[in-house]
Amino acid sequence: MKAKVHVTLKNGVLDPQGKAVENALGTLGFDGVAGARIGKYIELDLTETDPAKAEAQVTEMCEKLLANTVIENYRVEVGG
Amino acid sequence: MKAKVHVTLKNGVLDPQGKAVENALGTLGFDGVAGARIGKYIELDLTETDPAKAEAQVTEMCEKLLANTVIENYRVEVGG
């Protein structure tokens, strides 16, 4: 079973990487960019076949390793 | 208008970061992880209001800056 995890910075947390991308896009002539925020996208291959258990597992992985919950939010999608 | 971009490594391209996460999850006791691949998730705030134009713009941004098309795939979603 596949799981997809999005890890994004919480609102209000400074995102220097996003700022750099925003500036670089401006330099390249893309004037219409008002903001850019960059997060992580993690695809996991799980041996678990029960969707509910898989989701619980991945949520625990996020809490323990994948996300820094002080400054980051995460979103888990299971299936496929 | 918001745009979301997923940048992922192409199949067959080695993903050391994903491998490290996979091993770390194993160390933490999550035995059911058969694979992990890590990509980028970019949220853009655009001043463009036409969805078709916005998508074309973001695709160009991906080709020029956001993705390394030799080793990475990208997926653009516009809206919201």
Q: What's the CATH number where A14 sits?
A: 3.30.1280.10
Name residues 31-50 of chain B within 8 A of A (Cβ): 31-48
A56 in contact with chain B, both atoms CB, cutoff 8 A: no
d(C-alpha A76, C-alpha B7), whole Å: 17
Cβ separation B65–A40 shorter than 8 A: no
pLDDT tens digit at each of 80 positions of chain A: 999 999 999 999 999 999 999 999 999 999 999 999 999 999 999 999 999 999 999 999 999 999 999 999 999 999 86
**A45–B41 C-beta distance less than 8 A:** no
**Domain housing A39:** 2-78
The residues pairing with B7 across neighbouring beta strands, listed in sequence order, are B40, B74
Question: pLDDT at position B79, please?
Answer: 87
Q: Which residues does chain B have with pLDDT short of 50?
A: none
Give this complex's ipTM: 0.93
Number of domains in chain B: 1
Strand partners, A44: A3, B36
| Chain A residues touching B31 at Cβ < 8 A | 47
Cα separation values, A80 from A18, A43, A54, B12, B18, Å: 30, 11, 12, 20, 19
